[in-house]
Amino acid sequence: MKKKMDYFFRSAILIFIIFFSFSIYLGDPGLNYFSTQIQIEKPLNSQLLMNTTLSDQFNSTKAYKNIQTQLDFGYRIPGSNENLECASWINSEMQKYGESALYNFTIGDIECHNIISRVNPNKSQIVIFAAHFDSRAVAEKDSNESLRNTPIMGANDGGSGVAVMMEIARIIALSKINWNISFWFIFFDAEDQGLNNGISGINGWNWCEGSTYMMKDMKKNPNIYFRETQSLKTINSFILFDMVGGPDLQFISESHDNDELRESVFRIGQSLEYTNEFPLDGHEYTIQDDHVPFANEGIPTLDLIIKFWDINSGWPYHHTQGDNIAHISEESLQITGRTILQFVYETYNPEIGFIKKFTSENTFFSSPFVIGAGILIIGISIAAILKKSASKRY
Ligand code: 1BN
Ligand code: ZN
């Protein structure tokens, strides 16, 4: 009888552990699972909440000039003077709107510089906007073979995201809204030097070196990045701007992205009548970009990026000498900037009385492989324990 009870209790404990583990697996490992989640509410009628002042303040002429200024520094290749001069300019411009600092790191013997600028640095909830400011050292996709080893201007690939973000920062910082959010503007170095068509930007480098380094460093030295009440878990959303300035703008869906965040932004784009730019029924593609290290930590991300690899898709200049100011559309900068400011207003305006939490999806623990491996390990453990109990009984 005692053995039977022993067997019963062992099984009950095992079943409890399995169910408890799974409830955590399927819960929200990227966010604070044990804390109360703020209720998600969609505004009943987003039209009612329209604030024409915030999104209408986006000045596309200023954004366009922000691209030209970056190009005036020259090629912003990691380790070059031009790169550092551009980084210093971004940093000093951003200091007008809040605090801003360079975060230096090295790859091999090359000095690189990420920049983080913060508006409202002390609020615990963080919203991140990001772009890379380095420009590619080679034009490996140029139709003219003799140009494939020459650096590109990166007016769109690099320049456009930085330019739109600087203008968004200006408007958020100068607005009279009493934000309960820390807005971070991250300018990554060393994004665009990986290997493509057998040609590297910088030998031996991967894509997204700057963001990969930052995430490693954030986990190792959180105090350098976060205030006391902040952590990776208080990052509410992360939006990346990559090639947002070409004509015939059409953003794609990226597989690391958070569906709810994408849907919110794309619906707002649609409500502003940018229906071609923010298609809701698009195919999902997978792209290595600066949002991936953040998505892998369970942070809700959105990569605003075009189908840059398809020469028939409206902007055929990716990694060619055509990525220059002649192929930038001020209207595309305006469409991107206005949509994101409207998203910020509808999602984070404290007068509306809610902070939207985007459900975390893309974590290590939610990958089918990891879940499968977990089930296998649990199955083997059950079998081993049952076997042990059975052999004890007889
Ligand atoms: C994505 C956006 N990438 C750079 N900016 C990385 C990449 C470039 C991946 C070319 C594949 C091909
Ligand atoms: Zn690129």
Q: Name the closest ligand to CA 134.
A: 2
Which H helix or E strand runs over 217?
A: helix 209-220
Q: Supply the Cα-derived Rg of the chain in whole angstroms.
A: 24
| Residues 91, 21 within the same domain | no
Show the domain range for 64. 46-357
| Residues 341, 311 within the same domain | yes
Q: Name the closest ligand to CA 307.
A: 1
Q: Is residue 40 part of a domain?
A: no
What is the residue type of 115? I
| Residues 190, 230 within the same domain | yes
Question: Ligand 1: residues within 6 Å at CB?
Answer: 192, 194, 196, 207, 242, 287-289
State the burial class of residue 392 (Cβ atoms within 10 Å of its Cβ: 0-12, 13-18, 19+). Answer: exposed
| Residues 121, 255 within the same domain | yes
> Closest ligand 1 atom to the C-alpha of 132?
5
Please give the pLDDT value at position 10: 65
Q: Is residue 41 part of a domain?
A: no
Q: Is residue 71 part of a domain?
A: yes
| Residues 339, 195 within the same domain | yes
Neighbours of 179 (CB within 10 A): 18
Pocket test for ligand 1, best of 242, 289, 303 (most atoms within 8 A of CB): 289
**Number of domains forming the structure of the chain:** 2
Pocket test for ligand 1, best of 134, 287, 291 (most atoms within 8 A of CB): 287
| Residues 375, 352 within the same domain | no
Q: Is residue 301 part of a domain?
A: yes
Could you please report the per-residue DSSP string of 156-170? IIIIIHHHHHHHHHH
CA angle 120, 210, 153 (to 5 degrees): 100
Q: Are 119 and 31 in contact (CB under 8 A)?
A: no
Residue nearest to atom 10 of ligand 1 (CA): 196
> Closest ligand 1 atom to the C-alpha of 289?
1
| 299 vs 304: CA distance, rounded Å | 16
Tokens standing for residue 121:
């640095």
Please give the pLDDT value at position 382: 76
| Residues 110, 255 within the same domain | yes
Instruction: List, in sequence order, every residue forming a beta bridge with 103; answer none if it has no partner.
Output: 114
Q: Is residue 362 part of a domain?
A: no
CATH code, domain with 193: 3.40.630.10
Neighbours of 391 (CB within 10 A): 8
pLDDT digits (tens, 9 = 90+) for 165-175: 999 999 999 99
Residue nearest to atom 4 of ligand 1 (CA): 192
For residues 41-60, b (16+ Cβ closer than 10 Å) or e, as one string?
eeeeeeeeeebeebbebbeb
Q: Name the closest ligand to CA 208.
A: 1
| Residues 23, 97 within the same domain | no
Judged by DSSP in three states, 240 sits in: strand
| Residues 238, 154 within the same domain | yes
| Residues 265, 316 within the same domain | yes
Per-residue pLDDT of the chain (394 residues; tens, 9 = 90+): 555 556 555 665 555 555 545 444 443 333 332 222 333 344 433 444 455 579 999 999 999 999 999 999 999 999 999 999 999 999 999 999 999 999 999 999 999 999 999 999 999 999 999 999 999 999 999 999 999 999 999 999 999 999 999 999 999 999 999 999 999 999 999 999 999 999 999 999 999 999 999 999 999 999 999 999 999 999 999 999 999 999 999 999 999 999 999 999 999 999 999 999 999 988 999 999 999 999 999 999 999 999 999 999 999 999 999 999 999 999 999 999 999 999 999 999 998 876 778 987 655 565 556 666 776 777 777 777 777 777 666 5
Distance 259 CA to ligand 1 centre (A): 22
| Residues 152, 179 within the same domain | yes
Q: Is residue 199 part of a domain?
A: yes
Tokens standing for residue 120:
């409202």
| Residues 251, 384 within the same domain | no
Q: Is residue 335 part of a domain?
A: yes
Q: Is residue 307 part of a domain?
A: yes
Intra-chain end-to-end CA distance of the chain, in Å: 13
Q: Where are the alpha helices (DSSP H) in the chain?
A: 2-25, 52-56, 60-73, 81-94, 161-174, 209-220, 222-225, 259-271, 292-295, 330-348, 368-393
What are the angstrom distances between the C-alpha of 52 and each of 98, 248, 373?
Answer: 24, 25, 51
